Amino acid sequence: MAIIPQADPSLRIARFRQEIDRAIGTTLSSRHYILGPAVEKFEHDFAAYLGVRHCVGVASGTDALALSLRSMGVGKGDEVITTALTAPATAQAILQCGAIPRFVDIDPASRCLDTGAVEAAITERTAAIIPVHLFGHPADMPRLMGIAGRHDIAVIEDCAQAHGAMIDGRRLGSFGHAAAFSFYPTKNLGGVGDSGAIVTNDDAIDARLRSLRNYGIPSGQKESSAMGFNSRMDELQAAILSVLLPYLDAGNAERRALAGEYRRELTGVGLCLPPDADGAIYHQFAIACRDRDHMARSLREMDIQTLVHYHPPLHYHPAFRTGDVVHLPECERLSSQLLSLPIQPEVASGNTGYISRSIMKVMGL
């Protein structure tokens, strides 16, 4: 039997290959390579899909976070509150601006920021909060926006795992002052290289981002008016993402259905299953089990690949150990227990029964 990979973006590309090939051909004939009509079209379509005013295409999800922080004036000495149960990119973006990540604990029910811990961590140096919608499960945005409003702090949603996810019918990315997306190949909306985007309803932030991504040159002008970067989305990524965007909701629905299959098979067997919410889109389906490494090894022997997201948590990474030692008990416990099963439709469809039975076998059931 062939190995069931944890994820394989090439299978999604293969599924839409004809349309993608056509889009690549059209783009090459257009003679635009960077920030051309394909990027404009994708920016327009993605903003409309999310229900926000602006979308700015950039080179990666990390850049989307870092440029968002800079567009709000976050810089040297500022503190940014975020979670330690996330990809290193989240905190790297904070370091890139000269700011200091302040990690607070998660709420185990959502695996996202504990809003009480966020409020307790606010100081006069706190400039921003970056909630991460971990694994496509929504962080508590209404409450976070309330806290941020009372303290006059910026909120940037890390939506790298939350394309299309919702709270009460409203898309994630439309709650914060800005939101950062990644289109890394394994994301729910992923290209064939690096790219990212920031969305916002704020005209001034949008204008600053368009300048920041392009050498500090404001849109429609020729001179650099401030420090800037080269962080632009390219035409080929944009054209491919425009092919895939109309299939995003269907892909997310498939992931939700697969999550439902796992849930039916694995409820009541003594595992901690991921939280569910109507608007969750299951970028990962991560179970928590006590002997995680044994489970991973045993599943691998049964030809099932799994991945660990994320261990160690970020407050143990040398790059982010700034200042006092912090203890984040819920984050640390989950970090040692989480195991991401295959959930990408192209690898998981038809396999959730076998994977669930294999898990139960490892548990001696």
Instruction: Enumerate binding residues for ligand PLP (CB under 6 A).
Output: 60-62, 86-87, 89-90, 132, 158, 160-161, 182, 184, 194, 196
Q: How far is the CB of 233 from ligand PLP (least distance, A)?
A: 11
Separation of alpha carbons 159 and 27, rounded Å: 27
Cβ nearer to ligand PLP, comparing 52 with 94: 94
Q: What is the largest CA-CA distance in the chain?
A: 68
Separation of alpha carbons 125 and 127, rounded Å: 6
Q: How far is the CB of 203 from ligand PLP (least distance, A)?
A: 25
Q: How far is the CB of 160 from ligand PLP (least distance, A)?
A: 3
Q: How far is the CB of 330 from ligand PLP (least distance, A)?
A: 18
Cβ nearer to ligand PLP, comparing 59 with 362: 59
Residue nearest to ligand PLP (CB): 61
Cβ nearer to ligand PLP, comparing 266 with 328: 328
Q: How far is the CB of 92 from ligand PLP (least distance, A)?
A: 8
Q: How far is the CB of 152 from ligand PLP (least distance, A)?
A: 25
Cβ nearer to ligand PLP, comparing 97 with 266: 97
Which spans in the chain are helix H? 9-15, 17-30, 37-50, 61-71, 88-96, 115-121, 141-151, 203-212, 235-244, 248-266, 292-301, 329-335, 345-348, 352-362
CA dihedral sign, ordered 271, 275, 276, 279 = negative
188, HSE (Cβ side, Cα atoms, 13 Å) = 31
Candidates 45, 57, 9, 41; CA nearest to 191 is 9
Cβ nearer to ligand PLP, comparing 92 with 351: 92
DSSP string for 305-327: --B-S-SS-GGGSGGG--SS---
Separation of alpha carbons 247 and 245, rounded Å: 5
Cβ nearer to ligand PLP, comparing 160 with 343: 160
